[in-house]
Amino acid sequence: MRLIFSFLLLCFTSFQLYAAEIISTQAELKYIDLEGGFYGLITAKGEKYVPLNLPLALKNATATPITVQIQATKAPQTIGIMQWGTYINLNRISVLPDCKE
């Protein structure tokens, strides 16, 4: 009985044993008019991220792309309809001043 319980416990918890990959970078936050529309982050290296928990205040204030600093973790077990970028959970996001003149 103990062996069966140990096996079941291992099966149900093993999917949580991955190390969360932390991302810390600057990116451009912009509205992507694709598949119904969503907000995406594009880094200077061209990496694309889809934030799952973008604050509503940033969604409402983002008529044009803005530069942000983010700290996030990848969400590898998230499934969605958007075939654009990697899903992430934001830990921190801050708007950077626009340096383009």
- Report residue 23 as tokens: 């991302």
Q: What is the pTM of this model?
A: 0.75
What's the total number of domains in the chain? 1
Instruction: Tell whether 27 is covered by a domain.
Output: yes
- C-alpha 28/C-alpha 13 separation (Å) is 36
Instruction: Tell whether 11 is covered by a domain.
Output: no
Q: What is the CATH number of the domain that holds 34?
A: 2.40.50.500
Range of the domain at 40: 20-95
The contacts of residue 49 (CB under 8 Å, 6+ apart) are 23, 27, 40, 41, 42, 43, 70, 72, 85, 86, 87, 88
Instruction: Tell whether 86 is covered by a domain.
Output: yes
Residue 35 pLDDT level (bands cut at 50, 70, 90): confident
Tell me, what DSSP letter sits at residue 20?
P
Instruction: Tell whether 100 is covered by a domain.
Output: no
Instruction: Tell whether 10 is covered by a domain.
Output: no
Instruction: Give per-residue pLDDT as tens, 56-82.
Output: 988 876 678 899 999 999 998 888 887
pLDDT at 29: 95
Q: Is pLDDT of 100 > 70?
A: no
Instruction: Tell whether 15 is covered by a domain.
Output: no
Instruction: Tell whether 6 is covered by a domain.
Output: no
Instruction: Tell whether 53 is covered by a domain.
Output: yes
Residue 92 pLDDT level (bands cut at 50, 70, 90): very high
Tell me, what DSSP letter sits at residue 97?
P
